[in-house]
Amino acid sequence: MGKIILYGILLSPPVRAVLLTLHELDLEFEFVEVNPLKGEQYNEEYVKKNPQHTIPLLEDDGQCISDSHAIIAYLCRKFGKTDSLYPKDFYKRAIVDNRLHFESGILFARCLKGFRSTSETLENKLKNIEEAYDFMEVFLADSTHMAGNNLTIADLSILPSLSSLDLIVPVNSTKWPKLNSWLDLMKKLPYYEEVNVEGLRLIAEMLKPMLESMIAESKK
Protein backbone atom coordinates (compact mmCIF):
# COMPACT_ATOMS: atom_id res chain seq x y z
CA MET A 1 0.00 0.00 0.00
CA GLY A 2 1.29 3.44 -0.95
CA LYS A 3 1.71 6.27 1.49
CA ILE A 4 -1.49 8.11 2.45
CA ILE A 5 -1.23 11.82 3.23
CA LEU A 6 -4.14 13.99 4.34
CA TYR A 7 -3.81 17.76 4.01
CA GLY A 8 -6.04 20.08 6.02
CA ILE A 9 -6.79 21.53 9.43
CA LEU A 10 -8.82 20.24 12.38
CA LEU A 11 -11.02 23.35 12.34
CA SER A 12 -12.56 22.06 9.12
CA PRO A 13 -15.56 19.67 9.42
CA PRO A 14 -14.83 18.10 5.99
CA VAL A 15 -11.25 17.38 7.07
CA ARG A 16 -12.53 15.77 10.25
CA ALA A 17 -14.93 13.63 8.18
CA VAL A 18 -11.93 12.19 6.34
CA LEU A 19 -10.02 11.70 9.59
CA LEU A 20 -12.98 9.81 11.08
CA THR A 21 -13.09 7.56 8.02
CA LEU A 22 -9.35 6.90 8.11
CA HIS A 23 -9.64 5.87 11.75
CA GLU A 24 -12.71 3.71 11.14
CA LEU A 25 -10.82 1.89 8.36
CA ASP A 26 -7.79 1.61 10.66
CA LEU A 27 -5.45 3.08 8.03
CA GLU A 28 -2.02 4.54 8.63
CA PHE A 29 -1.59 8.04 7.28
CA GLU A 30 0.36 11.26 7.61
CA PHE A 31 -1.50 14.45 8.49
CA VAL A 32 -0.05 17.64 7.00
CA GLU A 33 -1.56 20.89 8.23
CA VAL A 34 -2.67 23.31 5.54
CA ASN A 35 -4.20 26.37 7.20
CA PRO A 36 -6.53 28.36 4.91
CA LEU A 37 -6.72 31.10 7.55
CA LYS A 38 -3.07 31.78 6.71
CA GLY A 39 -3.52 31.33 2.95
CA GLU A 40 -1.45 28.15 2.92
CA GLN A 41 -3.81 26.57 0.38
CA TYR A 42 -2.31 28.92 -2.22
CA ASN A 43 1.19 27.54 -1.74
CA GLU A 44 2.61 26.73 -5.17
CA GLU A 45 3.30 23.09 -4.36
CA TYR A 46 -0.16 22.62 -2.88
CA VAL A 47 -1.92 24.20 -5.86
CA LYS A 48 -0.06 21.76 -8.12
CA LYS A 49 -1.65 18.93 -6.16
CA ASN A 50 -5.06 20.62 -5.91
CA PRO A 51 -5.78 23.38 -8.47
CA GLN A 52 -9.01 24.18 -6.59
CA HIS A 53 -6.84 25.01 -3.53
CA THR A 54 -9.37 23.53 -1.11
CA ILE A 55 -9.12 21.30 1.93
CA PRO A 56 -9.19 18.41 2.55
CA LEU A 57 -6.88 16.85 0.01
CA LEU A 58 -5.88 13.20 0.08
CA GLU A 59 -2.71 11.95 -1.55
CA ASP A 60 -2.51 8.20 -1.99
CA ASP A 61 0.69 6.89 -3.51
CA GLY A 62 1.17 10.13 -5.43
CA GLN A 63 -2.43 10.40 -6.67
CA CYS A 64 -4.47 13.31 -5.35
CA ILE A 65 -8.20 13.52 -4.58
CA SER A 66 -10.04 16.58 -3.27
CA ASP A 67 -13.53 16.95 -1.74
CA SER A 68 -14.26 15.06 1.47
CA HIS A 69 -17.17 13.10 0.00
CA ALA A 70 -15.13 11.85 -2.95
CA ILE A 71 -12.26 11.03 -0.60
CA ILE A 72 -14.21 8.99 1.94
CA ALA A 73 -16.05 7.04 -0.78
CA TYR A 74 -12.69 6.31 -2.43
CA LEU A 75 -11.16 5.13 0.83
CA CYS A 76 -14.05 2.74 1.45
CA ARG A 77 -13.97 1.31 -2.06
CA LYS A 78 -10.21 0.79 -1.97
CA PHE A 79 -9.54 -0.20 1.62
CA GLY A 80 -12.82 -1.34 3.16
CA LYS A 81 -12.72 -4.99 4.23
CA THR A 82 -16.51 -5.10 3.80
CA ASP A 83 -18.97 -2.80 2.08
CA SER A 84 -20.75 -1.81 5.31
CA LEU A 85 -19.47 1.78 5.27
CA TYR A 86 -20.38 2.30 1.60
CA PRO A 87 -22.77 -0.46 0.43
CA LYS A 88 -22.53 -2.05 -3.00
CA ASP A 89 -26.29 -2.56 -3.08
CA PHE A 90 -27.57 0.10 -5.48
CA TYR A 91 -30.46 1.29 -3.31
CA LYS A 92 -28.51 1.33 -0.06
CA ARG A 93 -25.66 3.21 -1.73
CA ALA A 94 -28.14 5.72 -3.17
CA ILE A 95 -29.38 6.48 0.34
CA VAL A 96 -25.81 7.01 1.54
CA ASP A 97 -25.13 9.25 -1.49
CA ASN A 98 -28.29 11.19 -0.75
CA ARG A 99 -27.08 11.90 2.78
CA LEU A 100 -23.64 12.92 1.49
CA HIS A 101 -25.25 15.42 -0.89
CA PHE A 102 -27.45 16.65 1.97
CA GLU A 103 -24.35 17.21 4.08
CA SER A 104 -22.53 19.17 1.36
CA GLY A 105 -25.46 21.11 -0.08
CA ILE A 106 -27.49 21.84 3.05
CA LEU A 107 -25.83 21.00 6.36
CA PHE A 108 -22.27 22.18 5.70
CA ALA A 109 -23.53 25.16 3.70
CA ARG A 110 -25.60 26.25 6.69
CA CYS A 111 -22.64 25.55 8.95
CA LEU A 112 -20.52 27.98 6.93
CA LYS A 113 -23.22 30.65 6.97
CA GLY A 114 -23.73 30.14 10.67
CA PHE A 115 -20.11 30.87 11.48
CA ARG A 116 -19.53 33.64 8.95
CA SER A 117 -20.56 37.26 8.92
CA THR A 118 -23.13 37.57 6.14
CA SER A 119 -26.06 39.80 5.29
CA GLU A 120 -28.39 37.02 6.42
CA THR A 121 -30.11 37.77 9.73
CA LEU A 122 -29.33 35.69 12.80
CA GLU A 123 -32.99 34.71 13.01
CA ASN A 124 -32.86 33.28 9.51
CA LYS A 125 -29.56 31.49 10.17
CA LEU A 126 -31.01 29.81 13.25
CA LYS A 127 -34.20 28.91 11.39
CA ASN A 128 -32.19 27.26 8.60
CA ILE A 129 -30.10 25.28 11.08
CA GLU A 130 -33.21 24.05 12.86
CA GLU A 131 -34.75 23.08 9.51
CA ALA A 132 -31.65 20.98 8.78
CA TYR A 133 -32.11 19.29 12.17
CA ASP A 134 -35.74 18.58 11.23
CA PHE A 135 -34.61 16.84 8.04
CA MET A 136 -32.20 14.62 9.96
CA GLU A 137 -34.84 13.75 12.54
CA VAL A 138 -36.86 12.35 9.62
CA PHE A 139 -33.82 10.48 8.27
CA LEU A 140 -33.64 8.72 11.64
CA ALA A 141 -37.37 7.96 11.91
CA ASP A 142 -36.96 4.23 11.33
CA SER A 143 -33.22 3.68 11.77
CA THR A 144 -30.40 4.13 14.24
CA HIS A 145 -28.05 5.71 11.71
CA MET A 146 -28.33 8.26 8.92
CA ALA A 147 -28.61 5.67 6.15
CA GLY A 148 -29.83 2.50 7.83
CA ASN A 149 -29.05 0.57 10.98
CA ASN A 150 -25.28 0.52 10.80
CA LEU A 151 -22.48 3.04 10.55
CA THR A 152 -21.78 4.37 7.05
CA ILE A 153 -19.82 7.27 5.63
CA ALA A 154 -23.09 9.21 5.76
CA ASP A 155 -22.70 9.31 9.54
CA LEU A 156 -19.00 10.09 9.40
CA SER A 157 -19.62 12.95 6.97
CA ILE A 158 -22.54 14.49 8.85
CA LEU A 159 -21.05 14.19 12.35
CA PRO A 160 -18.40 16.96 12.15
CA SER A 161 -20.78 19.50 10.62
CA LEU A 162 -23.63 18.71 13.00
CA SER A 163 -21.43 18.76 16.09
CA SER A 164 -20.08 22.13 14.96
CA LEU A 165 -23.60 23.52 14.51
CA ASP A 166 -24.45 22.11 17.94
CA LEU A 167 -22.21 24.87 19.32
CA ILE A 168 -24.75 27.41 18.03
CA VAL A 169 -28.03 25.50 18.23
CA PRO A 170 -27.79 22.61 20.73
CA VAL A 171 -29.52 19.44 19.56
CA ASN A 172 -32.33 19.52 22.08
CA SER A 173 -33.45 16.04 23.18
CA THR A 174 -37.07 17.17 23.44
CA LYS A 175 -37.30 18.76 20.02
CA TRP A 176 -35.01 16.33 18.16
CA PRO A 177 -34.93 13.14 20.28
CA LYS A 178 -33.70 10.82 17.54
CA LEU A 179 -31.02 13.22 16.38
CA ASN A 180 -29.90 13.74 19.96
CA SER A 181 -29.66 9.96 20.48
CA TRP A 182 -27.72 9.59 17.24
CA LEU A 183 -25.23 12.27 18.32
CA ASP A 184 -24.75 10.52 21.66
CA LEU A 185 -24.16 7.25 19.79
CA MET A 186 -21.56 8.85 17.54
CA LYS A 187 -19.74 10.27 20.55
CA LYS A 188 -19.08 6.68 21.63
CA LEU A 189 -16.93 5.98 18.57
CA PRO A 190 -13.48 5.04 19.91
CA TYR A 191 -11.75 7.76 17.89
CA TYR A 192 -14.36 10.52 18.43
CA GLU A 193 -12.45 12.33 21.17
CA GLU A 194 -9.16 12.26 19.28
CA VAL A 195 -10.57 13.44 15.97
CA ASN A 196 -13.60 15.60 16.58
CA VAL A 197 -13.39 17.12 20.04
CA GLU A 198 -10.15 18.99 19.40
CA GLY A 199 -11.59 20.51 16.23
CA LEU A 200 -14.68 21.65 18.11
CA ARG A 201 -12.50 23.15 20.85
CA LEU A 202 -10.54 25.12 18.28
CA ILE A 203 -13.73 26.44 16.66
CA ALA A 204 -15.21 27.42 20.01
CA GLU A 205 -11.97 29.13 21.06
CA MET A 206 -11.49 31.04 17.81
CA LEU A 207 -15.11 32.15 17.53
CA LYS A 208 -15.88 32.54 21.24
CA PRO A 209 -17.09 36.19 21.13
CA MET A 210 -19.28 35.57 18.09
CA LEU A 211 -20.68 32.31 19.48
CA GLU A 212 -21.53 33.92 22.82
CA SER A 213 -23.33 36.71 21.02
CA MET A 214 -25.23 34.31 18.75
CA ILE A 215 -26.23 32.02 21.62
CA ALA A 216 -27.41 34.96 23.70
CA GLU A 217 -29.41 36.33 20.78
CA SER A 218 -30.95 32.91 20.05
CA LYS A 219 -32.32 32.73 23.61
CA LYS A 220 -34.20 36.02 23.36
Q: Is 12 a catalytic residue?
A: yes
User: Which listed residue (12, 66, 68, 161) is catalytic?
Assistant: 12
> How far is residue 99's CA from residue 214's CA, in Å, rounded to a whole number?
28
Q: List active site positions.
A: 12
